[in-house]
């Protein structure tokens, strides 16, 4: 009987599998944290509101009309930018934790962002 060493699991293969599993867990946690604030549909609705707001302004109508047409309130665009910045920071922290092998230190959600998401 011969042993087929090509089927042997090496320490390197185990470490690689563990790293892949860990990376997947961190990515899943990052995605879950982002989606707990706003679903993909919510994020698309906010983006669409921004498009409507901009289109109304480009048509030459007053800002108040753009806010009404888009469903946005004064300050919402700043909140949406804060959300986008937070998502980018979450993704960067996800990558950093995976690359360094350390636990992620998730950034705090900017104040008001959850309320914005709840409205959309």
> Is the entire prediction scored with pTM above 0.75?
yes
Q: How confident is the model at residue 90 (pLDDT cuts 50, 70, 90)?
A: very high
Q: How many CB atoms lie within 10 A of CB 119?
A: 13
pLDDT of residue 2: 76
| Mean pLDDT (whole number) for 84-104 | 97
CA torsion sign for 57, 60, 61, 64 is positive
% helix / strand / coil in the chain, to the nearest 5?
75, 0, 25
pLDDT tens digits, 31-72: 999 999 999 999 999 999 999 999 999 999 999 999 999 999
Q: What proportion of the chain, given as a percentage, has pLDDT over 70?
A: 94
pLDDT of residue 15: 84
């Amino acid at each position: 009987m011969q042993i087929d060493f090509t089927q042997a699991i090496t320490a390197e293969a185990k470490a690689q599998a563990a790293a892949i599993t860990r990376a997947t867990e961190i990515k899943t946690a990052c995605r879950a944290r982002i989606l707990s604030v706003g679903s993909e549909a919510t994020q698309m609705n906010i983006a669409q509101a921004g498009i409507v707001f901009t289109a109304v302004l480009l048509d030459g109508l007053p800002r108040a009309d753009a806010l009404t047409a888009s469903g946005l309130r004064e300050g919402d665009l700043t909140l949406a930018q804060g959300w986008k910045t937070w998502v980018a920071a979450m993704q960067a922290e996800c990558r950093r934790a995976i690359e360094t092998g350390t636990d992620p230190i998730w950034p705090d959600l900017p104040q008001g962002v959850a309320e914005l998401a709840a409205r959309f």
